[in-house]
Amino acid sequence: MRLEFVCVFMIILFGLAKFGKAEIYIVTVEGEPVVSYRGGVDGFEATAVESDDDDHKLDSTSEVVVSYARHLEKRHDLLLALLFERGSYEKLYSYRHLINGFAVHLSPEQAETLRHAPGVKSVQRDWKVKRLTTHTPQFLGLPTGVWPTGGGYERAGEDIVIGFVDSGIYPHHPSFTTYNTEPYGPVSRYKGKCEVDPGTKRSFCNGKIIGAQHFAQAAIAAGAFNPSIDFDSPLDGDGHGSHTASIAAGRNGIPVRMYGHEFGKASGMAPRARIAVYKALYRLFGGFIADVVAAIDQAVHDGVDILSLSVGPNSPPSNTKTTFLNPFDATLLGAVKAGVFVAQAAGNGGPFPKSLVSYSPWIATVAAAIDDRRYKNHLILGNGKILAGIGLSPSTRLNQTYKLVAANDALLDSSVTKYSPTDCQRPEVLNKNLIKGNILLCGYSYNFVVGSASIKQVSETAKALGAVGFVLCVENVSPGAKFDPVPVGIPGILITDAGKSKELIDYYNISTPRDWTGRVKTFTGTGKIEDGLMPILHKSAPQVAVFSARGPNIKDFSFQEADLLKPDILAPGSLIWAAWSLNGTDEPNYVGEGFAMISGTSMAAPHIAGIAALIKQKHPHWSPAAIKSALMTTSTTLDRAGNPILAQQYSESEAMNLVRATPFDYGSGHVNPRAALDPGLVFDAGYEDYLGFLCTTPGIDVHEIKNYTNSPCNNSLGHPSNLNTPSITISHLVRTQIVTRTVTNVADEEETYVITARMQPAVAIDVNPPAMTIRAGASRKFTVTLTVRSVTGSYSFGEVLMKGSRGHKVRIPVLAHGYSR
């Protein structure tokens, strides 16, 4: 008989005098979780999900699974009870399905005791995560190219369940309601529960929203949770969760209206997909890995098909060396083993190299693109000069100019300077008589950067004072400053170019006579604001957004490079219109609004989650790796004009410029949903393959692998670059290396593929065979040989292209860094 258990737990103790301050810990112990338990413990049958099973899904309701999961939880409780006095710790969660463990709050001394207890594999202090913060369906070609194949938008994503680990949801938003829609029937395989709003006693679910739960035990134990602000329910107190859910699965054709103007119709990528909410992020502090892991574990247990994660760590885990091995990534490996596709935001640390926060091969890591909409507005001065800026606002009256009045020249008295009056956040400190009927000039200070001042409030101030409009001048641009257009109800413009702001200030000073004390005698400078509501559509889209995190991928927190490309794919993530929570505070410019237009890889990940739902709907038996492969091999590296995609980058002078993008910016390229539904070939992989990748990656401790996977190492893969991914990366190429890939024909008929390859001159590339015929459902291997020609000190980029006789095109990026030894 074999008796062992693996558990991960976070430990929380309310510090007694003899202990240090209690903290949260995640601990793993021996034995298998439900997803990989193959039997061996007396009285408990095997529960493992086998990767070669077509429908490899966890049956959470089977008596065998319930019984073994209960057994694991009892073992967790017993371990703690044997080691510590009751009341000296608080167990927060038992993790049983994807990793075997639990979260507990206790002192560092107790954590040390645990570390040395028999059967305990690892004890890790919890770390925090943060949020990685509509026109895109048309930009991606969904209404004409993809939705009709699934029965139109009325059926796009039907019965596919997308789980969102985020800040909750605002269930009353039109993007999520069931009003005027065909009724949603039950999804029998989904077993998630619906919490009830503690205030109204109404369920958060309505058929469209099929599950709603929240996870805050770690946040509560850490003293970070405030129920009046954070809401002790799945309600979105932030806005971020509602935004991401509506991008992936919001209803089709919802009018985006603000201040009487309709900016278009919003729709999710998969408008009929179901939404399952797992709230683990909160407005002020983000979240704790303990709560996030519990949410993921529950989501997979409940039966979600897709997981959308717009979260990333604030910092590396405290005592983990390897990027791929920690409770978070190990839980996601379990999720993928259970057949769940995982999309995660790449991070917003761009444009700097190695800034990714998503590392593992089993995850689809999503970079953010700028789509084809740009918003511009103009201020026309009385001297005829036209100053460009941004502002989603109506124009002042046509053919009419208005006096310009600076906030600094309209103070009620000198004592109000302590309120930063030039920010125009407080109407009560400014003289209404001077401002009424004129254009108010305000200054863009650091307060706008940190969020204590907002453009929305400038607009409210101008309106309260009777101004016809406002101008916000940026005089100093700090490195990395990003200015997004903000919708406002009155004419308004943000002049983002410091040079243009100086022109405006010079004009104002010349045309504003003053007495000897400096007081204005009369305001004679004039101007008018043009209409900024209509977008300009650019063919130079998509581009990689400046904030989108970049590769190379790293295998450890010493920043050693991995033999694996990240990010995987590029999707829209800049200026995305989507649902917002009326309680939302994440963006001060959208407080109290029903929609928000925001940017981040947070917005890119749910685009991929929603498109993955469409692929899953068409191909229900495909593995997560097959779905990811379809997305990657059919993506494009060209923009709408047919030119190579460009990436926003900072020049040495810290000004923004555009450079030719590489796979470190966009992975395989920008998503093409129509092609992804019919990729021809897929590069499939499963749990054993990912284990092989870990075991052959130099520098990873085999004991650490066993701690998180409960599996012995198998080195048959030979080298991590042989993992069957739809990309090839060799971070340290010496002389020659041969890489193997296996493709499976997922089309309905036999097809012959001609294989070609090209590479930048420093590395030679060769493929074998040059052509192959593959029957429907069959698999074939091919090899790629890479040889160093010259050592340049940087990566060489290339691609393998497979052209099929029936019109399929499969492309994979190739990256190699040549060394002499």
pLDDT for the residue 591:
81
Q: 316 preceded by cis ω (within 30°)?
A: no
| Residue 15, pLDDT above cutoff 70 | no
pLDDT for the residue 8:
36
pLDDT for the residue 326:
87
Identify the three-state secondary structure at position 329.
helix
| Residue 55, pLDDT above cutoff 80 | no
pLDDT for the residue 12:
33
Model pTM? Answer: 0.90
Which residue reads 């971020």 in tokens?
Answer: 240
Q: Are 515 and 521 in contact (CB under 8 A)?
A: yes
pLDDT for the residue 144:
55
| Residue 752, pLDDT above cutoff 90 | yes
pLDDT for the residue 294:
96
- Report the pLDDT averaged over residues 501-512: 92
Angstrom CA distances, 232 to 225, 279, 282, 659, stand at 9, 10, 10, 46
pLDDT for the residue 653:
59
| Residue 1, pLDDT above cutoff 60 | no
Report, as residue numbers or ranges, the catalytic residues: 166, 240, 602
- DSSP codes joined into one string, 216-244: -HHHHHTT---HHHH-SSSB-SSSHHHHH
Q: Tell me the C-alpha distance between 249 and 12, whole Å.
A: 37
282 against 8, higher pLDDT: 282
Rg (CA), the chain: 28
Q: Tell me the C-alpha distance between 669 and 288, whole Å.
A: 32
The one-character DSSP state at 487 is B
For CA atoms 260, 265, 269, 274, give the dihedral sign. Answer: positive
Angstrom CA distances, 635 to 563, 722, 782, 785, 809, stand at 21, 22, 21, 24, 10
Identify the three-state secondary structure at position 548.
coil
Q: Tell me the C-alpha distance between 673 and 147, whole Å.
A: 10
Give the pLDDT confidence of 59-97 residue by residue, as tens digits: 777 899 999 999 999 999 999 999 999 999 999 999 999
Could you count the other beta carbons within 10 Å of the beta carbon of residue 318?
11
Percent of the chain with pLDDT over 70: 91
Q: Tell me the C-alpha distance between 342 and 377, whole Å.
A: 39
* Paired tokens of 542: 């998509």
Is residue 398 very low, low, confident or very high in pLDDT (cuts 50, 70, 90)?
confident
Q: What is the maximum span of the chain, computed from C-alpha positions, in angstroms?
A: 97
Nearest 5°: phi and psi at 239?
110, -30
Give the pLDDT confidence of 755-804 residue by residue, as tens digits: 999 999 999 999 999 999 999 999 999 999 999 999 999 999 999 999 99
| Residue 673, pLDDT above cutoff 70 | yes
pLDDT for the residue 56:
57
CA torsion angle for 627, 632, 634, 638 (degrees, to 10)? 150
Percent of the chain with pLDDT over 90: 61
Q: Which helix (H) or strand (E) holds 688?
A: helix 687-696
pLDDT for the residue 314:
67
- Report the pLDDT averaged over residues 18-35: 84
- Report the pLDDT averaged over residues 533-559: 86
What b-and-e string marks burial along 714-732, b requiring 16 or more CB atoms within 10 Å of the CB?
eeebebbbbbbbbbbbbbe
| Residue 468, pLDDT above cutoff 80 | yes
User: How many whole angstroms from its chain centre is CA 348?
Assistant: 9
* Paired tokens of 132: 């990685």
Is residue 545 very low, low, confident or very high in pLDDT (cuts 50, 70, 90)?
very high
Give the pLDDT confidence of 697-720 residue by residue, as tens digits: 998 888 888 888 888 888 889 999
Give the pLDDT confidence of 237-273 residue by residue, as tens digits: 888 999 999 999 999 888 888 888 888 888 899 999 9
Mean pLDDT, the chain, as a whole number? 88
- DSSP codes joined into one string, 133-181: ---HHHHTTHHHHTGGGGTSTTTTTTT-EEEEEES-B-TTSTTT--TTS
pLDDT for the residue 702:
87
The one-character DSSP state at 49 is P
| Residue 185, pLDDT above cutoff 60 | yes
Give the pLDDT confidence of 295-331 residue by residue, as tens digits: 999 999 999 999 999 888 766 665 667 889 888 999 9
Angstrom CA distances, 756 to 474, 535, 564, 766, stand at 51, 41, 22, 8
- Report the pLDDT averaged over residues 601-619: 95
pLDDT for the residue 17:
32
517 against 147, higher pLDDT: 517
- DSSP codes joined into one string, 81-134: HHHS-TTS-EEEEEE-SSS-EEEEEE-HHHHHHHHTSTTEEEEEE--EEEE---
- Report the pLDDT averaged over residues 612-636: 96
Give the pLDDT confidence of 569-598 residue by residue, as tens digits: 999 998 888 888 887 776 778 888 888 888
Q: Kindly report the length of the chain.
A: 821
Cα end-to-end distance, the chain, whole Å: 50
Q: Tell me the C-alpha distance between 332 and 96, whole Å.
A: 13
Could you count the other beta carbons within 10 Å of the beta carbon of residue 264?
15
Q: Tell me the C-alpha distance between 392 and 595, whole Å.
A: 14
